[in-house]
Amino acid sequence: MNKSDLANYPDYYQKYIGLVGEEDLLAALENSLQEISIFFSSLPEEKLEHRYQPEKWSIKEVLSHLIDSERIMGYRALRFARNDKTELSGYDQDNYVKNSKVAGRNIAYLVNDYSSARKANLELFKSFDDEMLLRRGIANKWELSVLLIGFVIVGHGFHHVEIIKQRYL
């Protein structure tokens, strides 16, 4: 299914969807994996702990957030695709980052972790047929389709890359 098949989703997600250039979800998931992995791998070591303001995340913490979000969104997609009607709660992203303890990890490890999480989601989304991709569920009080979740995963990564380019580098 394609980006043009997205319908009736919360306005909040438009900021992510608008950053996805590909129409095809699987191509978007695969291509963004390469782009984002190369981007983080290319950053100078001395910038990885940088915060543009004291209370903001470091670049390593941003990548940790992407890894956590990748896993959480994949879980949501799986639940909805399997027609699980249980309403899912949100999560406290700041608490996840605070407890990630990424400062001691090197960037190669984190990029590999990100890549592994994305590859797992890529295989998951390959397993979904059109009917599954159109299934919907409630997460964090918002109704989302499985297809939307896939495109949000991609756009969310690009959103944070843009923030790093604008505020950290």
Kindly report which listed range (57-61, 100-104, 125-129, 162-166) carries the lowest average pLDDT score.
Answer: 100-104
Q: Which residues are registered as beta bridge partners of 2?
A: 24
pLDDT 10s digits, 110-120: 999 999 999 99
Is the Cβ–Cβ distance between 154 and 20 less than 8 Å? yes
In the chain, domain spans: 3-167
Type and span of the H or E element at 161: helix 146-167
The token pair at 126 is 């390959």
Q: Tell me which of 1.20.120.450, 3.40.50.10310, 2.60.40.1180, 3.40.50.720 is the CATH number of domain 3-167.
A: 1.20.120.450
Q: What contacts 132, CB < 8 A, 6 or more positions away? A: 81, 82, 146
Write down the pLDDT at residue 104. Answer: 85
Q: What is the Cα–Cα distance from 75 to 70, expressed in whole angstroms?
A: 9
The token pair at 124 is 């998951």
Q: What contacts 100, CB < 8 A, 6 or more positions away? A: 61, 64, 68
Q: Averaged over 33-54, what is the pLDDT?
A: 96
